[in-house]
């Protein structure tokens, strides 16, 4: 896992090259909406891209992480199926329903049944290298989403410049990123992280939560600001030093949200002494997001190493899949 995290920017660069050289058939119809289907490490990219391109996308983008697809899906819907293994049962069921509705279908995968279906039906698809835990393949699976949305004229650019800027920033800052991750690791050991972020960065907060869950084998939760100011904030009423607040901060966070964060800190301080602010680096939302994702990945790995646990072990998920296979 450490090697995969170290290769994050290499994965991004490799994926961009693969995407640029993937032959996609032209599409001349009209797309009214987009549904991105995927779960876990394969689905988080959809959550993040939908926020990054929100001001650029020509139509609504909905994220689906279930077995069933929404009723609005029709022949003018682009259904983008994402499954790193190509065998995620929920994603395959969603694909089957999209086929029944004659939706426009595109896929991102490393192989499996999804690749076979895409090739058999001549669906546009981008194939990325396989063999990694899905959560460790984010750098490979994320860029193709931009290329596919650009191909169908949902967004106006493929964001290559921003990806390249992010790669440069992360590579230049790698040593300091690891140092910061080490400091944060020490503060989170034996704590329950409570993760907060601006609403436009919820996907990044979810990614960090998932990495803490899977890599560090810890429970935690996340919420977004300003929404949590209308509910969860009221729940901060009891002193609990087992909680550790983590706040993702970005220069482009809305100015009133930044003020809310400052006021929120004065409330959190009454109930826990562990409050960690993590500032992104970059000149765009995409660059900021990739920086925070990489830093978060390091934190989750270092916690696991400190606890002496196997980062890649997911026995409980394997057990669940085995039980489902009996149905």
Enzyme catalytic residues: 214, 230, 321
Do 81 and 107 meet the contact criterion of CB atoms below 8 Å apart? yes
Strand (E) positions, 227-274?
243-249
How many CB atoms within 10 Å of residue 128? Answer: 23
Q: How many angstroms separate the CA atoms of 16 and 9, rounded?
A: 11
Residues in the chain: 327
CA distances from 48 to 39, 162, 204, 211 (A): 13, 15, 7, 15
Q: How many CA atoms lie within 13 A of 207 on its CB side?
A: 32
What single DSSP character describes residue 73? Answer: -
Q: How many angstroms separate the CA atoms of 191 and 212, rounded?
A: 11
Q: Which residues of 200-233 are buried (b: 16+ CB within 10 A; e: fewer)?
A: bbbbbbbbbbbbbebbbbbebebbbbeebbeeeb
């Amino acid at each position: 896992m450490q090697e995969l995290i170290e290769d994050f920017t290499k994965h991004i660069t490799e994926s961009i090259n693969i995407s640029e050289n993937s032959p996609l058939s032209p599409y001349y119809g009209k797309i009214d909406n987009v549904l991105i289907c995927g779960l876990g490490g394969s689905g988080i990219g959809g959550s993040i891209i939908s926020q990054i391109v929100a001001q650029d996308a020509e139509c609504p983008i909905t994220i689906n992480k279930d077995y069933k697809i929404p009723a609005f899906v029709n022949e003018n819907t682009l259904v983008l199926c994402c499954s790193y293994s190509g065998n995620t049962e929920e994603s395959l069921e969603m694909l089957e329903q999209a086929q029944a509705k004659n939706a426009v279908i595109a896929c991102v995968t490393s192989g499996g049944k999804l690749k076979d279906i895409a090739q058999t039906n001549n669906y546009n698809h981008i194939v990325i290298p396989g063999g990694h835990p899905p959560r460790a393949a984010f750098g490979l699976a994320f860029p193709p989403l931009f290329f596919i949305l650009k191909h169908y004229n949902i967004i106006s650019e493929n964001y290559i410049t921003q990806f390249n800027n992010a790669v440069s920033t992360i590579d230049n800052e790698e040593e300091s990123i690891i140092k910061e991750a080490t400091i944060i690791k020490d503060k989170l050991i034996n704590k329950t992280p409570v993760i907060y972020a601006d609403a436009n960065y919820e996907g990044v907060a979810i990614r960090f939560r998932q990495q803490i869950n899977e890599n560090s084998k810890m429970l935690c939760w996340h919420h977004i600001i300003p929404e949590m100011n209308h509910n969860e904030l009221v729940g901060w009423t009891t002193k609990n030093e087992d909680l550790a607040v983590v706040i993702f901060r970005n220069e482009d966070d809305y100015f009133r949200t930044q003020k809310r964060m400052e006021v929120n800190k004065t409330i959190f301080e009454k109930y826990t002494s562990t409050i960690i602010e993590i500032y992104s680096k970059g000149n765009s939302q995409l660059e900021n997001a990739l920086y925070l994702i990489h830093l978060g990945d390091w934190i989750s790995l270092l916690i696991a190493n400190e606890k002496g646990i196997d980062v890649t072990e997911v026995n409980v998920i394997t057990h669940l899949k085995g039980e489902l296979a009996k149905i």
